[in-house]
């Protein structure tokens, strides 16, 4: 069994990005700039935004955060999006989710200019990904593709089963694994809570991507000998073996599945570290206008 080391691969990609930033600045070009909008005081959201700005600093990007109170009106939030849309110094914009209930997520995401939508959530980017046009691919699926590619895993002609059909992981993953390029060209099956006899489907997978949000759901009897297993799930559970009193686990029962898999991602240290790196890769593409070359962002 080979461990897919997301932490190591993420560090390599960060190094590549940092060198590219140096190359740009040596040529007198500006540093890529990522802006984040954060609404309210949710501690997890604050942690995510802080780690995104720390990652920006590590690779030499500029970053800025716009912190708005929990009771901000939808109109004010949309005005902030518009302000950033029109700031030519800023290349990429993310709005940290979840938003308070009085705000319509879709309206806010659709207000971001697709050219700056480095989270890849705007319907224009989702649609462009689906029809194979250059697009910002959302962070988690993009990170998984990089893990697969950089681990030398072939996907062409393989049976790929995806557990979960969320808009941020399962669905885009299915589109990417079935596209006509490598990584891709797989025969994809997507499973959800209404799938009958799940085990009979998952046990035929050469590549099994698990994003169902249930701790330790996938057991060894659901997995084919020699399968590649990508565990997207992340759960904090109590533990008397750690100082903090908790530990992180995934959607897959790691030890028993690892004994059967050819490659597997650990939790933590697998898919997780790749997510922020994907956002950095998208922001770099935005600053170089790689996805929408003909469009002036102003």
Q: Enumerate binding residues for ligand NAP (CB under 6 A).
A: 140, 163-166, 168-170, 191-195, 198, 211-214, 232-234, 271-272, 275
- Alpha-carbon distance of 260 to 118, in angstroms, equals 37
The token pair that represents 266 in the structure block? 């650990």
In the residue annotation, 52 being an active-site residue is answered as yes
Q: State both tokens at 195.
A: 């799938």
**Contact yes or no for 169/232 (Cβ under 8 A):** yes
In this complex, which beta carbon is closest to ligand NAP, that of residue 107 or of residue 236? 236
Min dist. Cβ of residue 160 to ligand NAP (A): 16
* Closest CB 73 distance from ligand NAP, rounded Å: 27
Integer Cα distance of 190 and 161 in angstroms? 6
Which of 5, 14, 91, 96 is catalytic? The answer is: 96
Q: Which is nearer to ligand NAP, 150 or 297 (CB)?
A: 150
Active-site pick, 5, 119, 206, 231: 119
Nearer to ligand NAP, 60 or 215 (CB): 215
Single out the catalytic residue among 5, 14, 52, 253.
Answer: 52
| Residue 252 φ then ψ, to 5° | -110, 140
In the complex, minimum distance from the CB of residue 11 to ligand NAP, in angstroms, rounded to a whole number: 16
CB 14 to ligand NAP: min, Å: 16
Strand order in the sheet with 263-264: 2-3, 263-264, 228-231, 207-210, 159-163, 187-191
**Beta carbons within 8 Å of 116's beta carbon, 6+ residues apart:** 84, 85, 90, 91, 92, 93, 286, 297
C-beta of 44 vs 131, nearer to ligand NAP: 44
Helix (H, G, I), strand (E, B) or coil at 67: strand
Q: Kindly list the catalytic residues.
A: 52, 96, 119
């Amino acid at each position: 069994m080979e461990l897919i080391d997301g932490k190591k691969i993420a560090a390599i990609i960060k190094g590549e990005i940092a060198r590219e930033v140096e190359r740009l600045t040596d040529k007198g070009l500006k540093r890529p700039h990522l802006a984040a909008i954060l609404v309210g005081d949710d501690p997890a959201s604050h942690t995510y935004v802080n780690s995104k700005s720390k990652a920006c600093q590590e690779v030499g990007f500029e970053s800025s955060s716009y912190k708005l109170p929990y009771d901000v009106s939808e109109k004010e939030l949309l005005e902030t999006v518009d302000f950033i849309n029109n700031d030519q110094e800023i290349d990429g914009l993310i709005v940290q989710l979840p938003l308070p209930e009085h705000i319509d997520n879709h309206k806010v995401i659709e207000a971001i200019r697709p050219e700056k939508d480095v989270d890849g959530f705007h319907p224009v980017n989702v649609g462009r990904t689906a029809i194979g046009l250059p697009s910002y691919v959302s962070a988690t699926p993009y990170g998984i593709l990089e893990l697969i590619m950089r681990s030398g895993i072939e996907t062409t002609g393989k049976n790929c089963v995806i557990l979960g059909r969320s808009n941020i992981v399962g669905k885009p993953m299915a589109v990417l694994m079935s596209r006509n390029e490598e990584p891709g060209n797989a025969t994809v099956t997507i499973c959800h809570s209404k799938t009958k006899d799940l085990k009979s489907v998952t046990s035929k997978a050469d590549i099994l991507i698990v994003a169902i949000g249930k701790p330790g759901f996938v057991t060894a009897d659901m997995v084919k000998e020699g399968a590649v297993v990508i565990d997207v799930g992340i759960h904090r559970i109590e533990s008397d073996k750690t100082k903090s009193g908790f530990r992180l686990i995934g959607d897959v029962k790691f030890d028993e599945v690892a004994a059967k898999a050819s490659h597997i991602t650990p939790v933590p240290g697998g898919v997780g570290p790749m997510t922020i790196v994907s956002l950095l890769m998208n922001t770099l593409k935005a600053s170089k206008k790689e996805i929408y070359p003909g469009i002036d962002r102003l």
